[in-house]
Amino acid sequence: MEFTCAVVAGKYSRQTPQELLSVGELVGLDGAVFAKASRLVAKVDSAAVQDGFQLYLHSFIVTDDGQWTVVQQGMNGRLKQARRYHWLSHGLESFVNEPHAAIEGPGYGEIVNLTDRRAEDSRSRQLGLLSSLGPDGIIRELAILEKREAKSAGPVRREQPLLPTLVLPQHHDVRSRDLSLGRLHGNLAAAANRGPSDFSELLLTPGVGARTVRALALVAEVVHGSPYRFTDPARFSLAHGGKDGHPFPVPLRVYDETIRVLKSAVQNAKLGRDEELAAIKRLDQEARKLERHVSGPSVEQLIAEERTHSESYGGQTIWSRR
């Protein structure tokens, strides 16, 4: 078996696609396929994987039967360390979903890795944002998020302001300023809109069904949400309260019913029946549609309502258990 190898470094690496086209003509292979692969591989390891290592070496090896291998090397000048990225065409199913044959090099803290299989939802949502908002719209939304984060973080300077972080207040009780009312009202409205149609046969406990759907609307966001959705974690405490009574006692009947629905959804999905999982996902989708337009009660009113009905929901704290 014969091999053809193109090894380029620095600025000359941009010439690789053209060289591969020339190689294709010489050996009778489709050089355009190799050129496209070369560009994609370089783009993935420089943009989809952001790990602090800058690519400077690109080796593209082609066999006479059209198989190829890429070995790229990146350098972190500050650490004086290198990292290699290995690709094989054999068995490659996707350039963006866990495509690497191997990545060799020392660990370097938290990184951005959109090729991880767990990032599939993020990749999909990025495409959705691009199509719905356009580049200008995304820039506007990003500016809003940066301003909101800077306001909540105060004067503390962050080296990486765009990474998702949780900034928790000093006080333990849940207050209006601790959460996004728009998102909360979107959750409540989604529960009211989708609950009757999606969960009428799934929630069988009398008097608890509607309240359980409200809890599931918040659970659905945790399951399907992107990191930026979690900037106000206090909001999720309104699903099932807290064992110390903040923001209200744990409504055990709601808590148990939520677990029952989730268990049932997962078990049935394994058997090919995913209606329940789909219903939970629709709760999250509906909440996102509604949150910019709906209004509702204040946080204080919601907490007061929960405390009023706590006994009927089987409300418990660590003290009431004693």
Indicate if 170 and 44 belong to the same structural domain.
no
Indicate if 145 and 101 belong to the same structural domain.
no
- Per the listing, tokens 């990184």 go with 111
Helix (H, G, I), strand (E, B) or coil at 39: helix
What confidence score (pLDDT) does residue 249 get? 93
- How much of the chain exceeds pLDDT 90, in percent? 12
Enter the tokens of residue 256: 């148990």
Indicate if 238 and 280 belong to the same structural domain.
yes
What confidence score (pLDDT) does residue 227 get? 64
Inside any domain, residue 52: yes
Inside any domain, residue 322: no
CA 133 from centroid of its chain's CA atoms: 19
What confidence score (pLDDT) does residue 204 get? 43
Host domain of residue 261: 166-316
Most confidently modeled range among 109-118, 229-238, 301-310: 301-310
Indicate if 110 and 120 belong to the same structural domain.
no
Indicate if 62 and 34 belong to the same structural domain.
yes
Question: In whole angstroms, what is the distance from residue 322 CA to residue 319 CA?
Answer: 5
Calculate Rg over the CA atoms of the chain: 26
Among candidate residues 83, 115, 147, the one where a domain is terminated: 115
Confidence of residue 322 (pLDDT cuts 50, 70, 90): very low
Angle at 181 (CA atoms; ends 176, 185), nearest 5 degrees? 135
Q: How far is CA 50 from CA 10, 108, 113, 114, 283, in A?
A: 18, 11, 6, 9, 33
Inside any domain, residue 321: no
Contact 185, 239 (CB under 8 A): no
Confidence of residue 296 (pLDDT cuts 50, 70, 90): confident
Confidence of residue 152 (pLDDT cuts 50, 70, 90): low
Q: Which of 108-112, 190-194, 285-289 has the lowest mean pLDDT?
A: 190-194
Indicate if 180 and 220 belong to the same structural domain.
yes
Indicate if 136 and 187 belong to the same structural domain.
no
Among candidate residues 132, 163, 194, the one where a domain is terminated: 163
DSSP characters over 102-133:
EEES---SS-EETTSGGGHHHHHHHHHHHHHH
Indicate if 301 and 259 belong to the same structural domain.
yes
Q: Between 232 and 52, name the one with better pLDDT.
A: 52
Q: Rounded mean pLDDT of 36-50?
A: 88
Inside any domain, residue 300: yes
- Alpha-helical regions (H) of the chain: 16-27, 31-43, 120-153, 181-198, 209-224, 237-240, 252-270, 275-290, 299-308
Inside any domain, residue 137: yes
Q: Rounded mean pLDDT of 168-196?
A: 75
Among candidate residues 163, 180, 201, the one where a domain is terminated: 163
**Per the structure, how many domains does the chain have?**
3
- Per the listing, tokens 């300023």 go with 177
Inside any domain, residue 232: yes
Burial class (CB in 10 A: 0-12, 13-18, 19+), 227: exposed
Indicate if 69 and 58 belong to the same structural domain.
yes
Inside any domain, residue 184: yes
What confidence score (pLDDT) does residue 143 get? 78
Cis omega before residue 247 (within 30°)? yes
Indicate if 143 and 45 belong to the same structural domain.
no
Inside any domain, residue 292: yes
pLDDT digits (tens, 9 = 90+) for 51-92: 889 888 888 888 888 889 999 999 988 888 899 999 999 999
Q: State the average pLDDT for the chain.
A: 79
Indicate if 121 and 254 belong to the same structural domain.
no
Question: In whole angstroms, what is the distance from residue 106 CA to residue 76 CA?
Answer: 11
Indicate if 68 and 79 belong to the same structural domain.
yes
